[in-house]
Structure 1
Amino acid sequence: MRIRPAWPVPWTRPAGVLRRRLRRALPAIVALVLLAPLSGCRTDLTPPGSPTPWPAEYARRWQWQWQLSGPVDVTVDADVFLLDPVRTTSTETAALRARDRRLVCQVQVGSYATTDPDASRFPAAVRGAVVPGRPGSRWLDVRQWDTLKPVLADRFRLCRGKGFGAVALTDADGYLHRSGFPLTFDDQLLFNRQLAALARSLDLSPGLVNDVPQVAALAPDFDFAVNEECIRRRECAKLLPFTDDDKPVFHVEYTGDPTEFCVTTVGYGFSSIRKDRDLDAWREPCPLP
């Protein structure tokens, strides 16, 4: 923060007068510098736009919320909201944007659900195995970019139309699962990079959800990361390519004591919270550094 003198300093002032005035002003200047970090970063942030900016100087200071069930609580004290684009209304996003909150749209890119409004747009040739734990969802053949691109582009446009400035790409790791297709590491890498480029072409900031094995390769292509349970899985260090480049890592644990895992994740520079698995409004954030 640049501190301007409280008075004009003409070059003709005698040195003794200047020294006395500087001595009188010094305590006030020191107080301003010491108190600046305590005032909170949110009031000074540039209001979010499209695509959402992520100022490097705040990379380790975001508070965030991830809500996919229940009425959206727009009063939660968080800078960043990760929400479902179909369930969330334009009224809710407008209320959040009026408070200068950054809005991230969760988009399934490697799978689809039979209940999705656009489910019929995925031809049988790209529909794979059932996603474990989600009987109504199936993996997609991410090798067929020309077929998937128009549908995914419209999903991104829905996000932008509702006021989101960023997209978090979920199920972008089908190669790690029994997807029903012989997907390789390189197949997924190409698909994820194409998605990041597509998001940017639509003025949306792209974020990578999980897919930890590809973080080192994909960090340059994405603006932020969202991670589930890197503490429980013992893989938090693999997310450092994001924080090393002053990019946010939004991290959640569903079990464990925040007073214990926060020490590790805040030390890594992550924005961490504890949530229930149904991702309702409740959250327990880690303190900011």
Structure 2
Amino acid sequence: MTPPSTGTTPVNPSPAEMARVLLGTELRAIRIAAGKTTRQIAGYSSGHISNVEAGKVTPSERLILAYSSLGGSHAQLIGLLRQAHSSRTLAPVVADALEDPLTDPHVLRRGYVIEMIEDIHYYGERHQPLRNVHRVSLRFTSPRARFFPFRHVVDEDLRKGVSHVQPSTGCEIAHLEEADDGVIYCVLAAQPDALDELGRTTISWVIDINTDAVGHPRVDAGSSGRIPLATKRVQFHADAPPSNLWWYRETDPSAASLSAARRNKIPPNTANLATREFINIDREWWGIAWTWPPISG
């Protein structure tokens, strides 16, 4: 029989809080059955173990492994840990909506958090955009969530058919629509077998661009929440490098075009590849900007 938890279940607890209490109760039962005290869990203080078992603190995966080695079911513990990791309380109607790719994107975004994002933008000999490659690491916060929505448009060429979206790894297209001005709204579905036990996965996709328009000398993105790591890369044609390169990170997207931002210079290199990593982005705009030299010929 599972011993009662020493913690107190919160008033009107969220599913994540309930899962944390249940997980702590199960961990305590495993430890007691193994004949161990809170001081005998190697690498952790007695106080930390007590807080975890009381449901006050979410354990790490490493601690879950320690309890698994004491005789606990790793699959069961990881399942509880995944629920406890959920940072959002989803009403039943929202949870149902997460299963429909046609749900409003603001609702779909409640089903995951972004842990890493990487974008690579390719430009041609006449400064035209050629291709974007995107890679995102996600952690789905609900077992019923699997969709990732995004919008794309080539501002330099507002025509339908300019861009083509192609899934690369870990996902497939669940929904795609394109307006007459070339604005694409796409919902990618993460492949279930690509998710780990905590609901984490990495998906990638490619956007091929067919235009003769000169690209705007800037690539950026904005976040409505925290992203631990965001990387921007720009690959220029060997015969058409930019004359200046700089990075920016601003709360105001218009500030990116200010000349003062050029103090964050990116030195040129023989590969004509500009790269910048941004750590702990939180409700900010970030990106790389440059100036185009005159096109010869």
**Structure with higher helix content:** 1
Q: Flag the structure with more relative contact order, 1 or 2, with Cα contacts below 8 A and sequence separation at least 6.
A: 1
Larger Rg: 2
**Structure with higher strand content:** 2
Query: What is the TM-score when the length of structure 1 is the normalising length?
Result: 0.22
